[in-house]
Amino acid sequence: MDKIQLKTRSKTEFVDITSEINQIVQKRVIKEGICHVYVPHTTAAITINENADPSVKKDIVNELNKIVPWNDSYTHGEGNAAAHIKSTIVGSSASIPISDGKLTLGTWQGIYFCEFDGPRHREAFVQIIKSE
């Protein structure tokens, strides 16, 4: 298993980690399989979405902030309940097929680490599973 280290800079931030994951896949030298990306944090997430137009991630963040505002009537004592809720909505992992030695992402797709309680030092785990 490989690990990606991140240092986020904002309270809410989408960090494109596609190139780091591609490097891990390339070094494994497998033709067919699955790349599983997992975040071991309860206030962060992983998603796959468009990476050609930066306004898409801005729009996603803005809408998540409308759905789950930072200040509301939460009872969680640490004051970061919104981050926990957003990470639950988005999800803690993604699996991407590997075909012909490459991630099978769509033309405009990228893999994002989603920070909802930054800035922080974070990590994401990448597990490559070879198909038989």
What does the domain layout of the chain look like in residue ranges?
2-130
User: CATH number of the domain at 2-130, please?
Assistant: 2.60.120.460
Classified as helix, coil or strand, 28 is helix
> What band does 65 get if pLDDT is binned at 50, 70 and 90?
very high
pTM (2 d.p.) = 0.95
The stretch 94-107 carries a mean pLDDT of: 96
Q: Of 89, 1, 97, nearest to 45 (Cα)?
A: 89
7-35 pLDDT, tens per residue? 999 999 999 999 999 999 999 889 999 99
The tokens for 87 are 């990470």
Binned at pLDDT 50, 70 and 90, residue 4 comes out as very high
Residue 89: the pLDDT is 97
Q: What does the DSSP assignment read for 63-97?
A: HHHHHS-SSSS---TTS-HHHHHHHHHH-SEEEEE
Query: Taking 90 as the threshold, does the pLDDT of residue 132 lie above it?
Result: no
Query: Shortest CA distance to 90 belongs to which of 35, 34, 49?
Result: 49
Beta strands 93-99 and 33-38, pairing class: antiparallel
At residue 77, the pLDDT reads 86
> In the chain, which ranges are E strands?
2-7, 13-16, 33-38, 44-50, 93-99, 102-103, 109-115, 121-130
Radius of gyration of the chain (CA): 16
Q: Find the mean pLDDT for residues 24-47.
A: 96
